[in-house]
Amino acid sequence: MPEDNVQKCKGCNRPLDMPAFEANMRICPKCGSHEQVPVRERIKMTVDEGSFKELWGHLVSKDLIGFADSKPYADRITETIDKTGENDAIVTGDALIHGTKVAIGFMNFGFIGGSMGVVVGEKIMRLAEHALKEKVPMIIFAQSGGARMQESVFSLMQLARMSGAIYRFQEHGGLYISVICNPCTGGASASFAFQGDLIISEPGALIGFAGPRVIEQTIKQKLPPGFQTAEFLQEKGFLDKVVDRKNMRWMLGKVLSLYRGIPMEVI
């Protein structure tokens, strides 16, 4: 096969054996780089088999301001829905993790870079309200490039709506676990991604408000090695733990069992 057609690891640039790579949860067997996972695949590897019940999947973004760049925003929405089979950049619902019921959301980076518009804000707000009503823990897998510029101020408004709903949930004793995946930047990092009672991340994830290149150009200084990686943020106290993808479901189950006060069965 021509080299241009071989998928390579973004961490070590080695060619990937795709069947082995996918069987290894899209983790490079050579360097351990955690590559991005399609949202439905992420759901399957996280929750108990057959337990996920999607909520508010019918919500679809609209072109609220008549935005156009290289194409009209309305056309971009339609094309992305057709391409991904998803209606927006987050999938939300109820599920079980090692037998514990949770309200859970999975950001979908494949949908316009996981950007947050009105629909993402609405679904996260509803998820927090649903978790409060059902008295269950809430988990959100954050993976986003930030606010969706095509929705302008309507997108920025969602930061306050999401944060307020999560705060009310926590004020009533709700447990919110934030799981950060690569990348998580902009408005996502400035709102729900860092509101968790427990904040964990996959290895090597890029996390921050602005990217390192923008920061270097702004402050005219060279940044430290590994700046804005999950490991760097854990060292500085911004993250509670960096967890390998293969251990993520077990870790979530363990935390949930402690929250319920019920010993988790040996896995």
Q: Please give the structure tokens belonging to residue 181.
A: 């995946």
CATH architecture of 37-260: Alpha-Beta Complex (3.90)
pTM (predicted TM-score): 0.92
CA–centroid distance for 31 within its chain: 23
Residue 165, number of CB atoms within 10 A of its CB = 23
Q: Please give the structure tokens belonging to residue 91.
A: 């999938």
Cα diameter, the chain: 58
DSSP state of 135: T
Residues 141, 146, 148, 154: is their CA dihedral positive or negative? positive
Dihedral of CA atoms 209, 213, 216, 222 in degrees, nearest 10, equals 120
CATH 3.90.226.10 domain position(s) in the chain: 37-260
Q: For residue 3, which of 22, 12, 20, 16 has the smallest C-alpha distance? A: 16
Tens of pLDDT along the chain (267 residues)? 445 457 899 889 999 989 989 999 999 999 999 999 999 999 999 999 999 999 999 999 999 999 999 999 999 999 999 999 999 999 999 999 999 999 999 999 999 999 999 999 999 999 999 999 999 999 999 999 999 999 999 999 999 999 999 999 999 999 999 999 999 999 999 999 999 999 999 999 999 998 888 898 999 999 888 899 999 999 999 999 999 999 999 999 999 999 887 655 544
DSSP state of 20: H
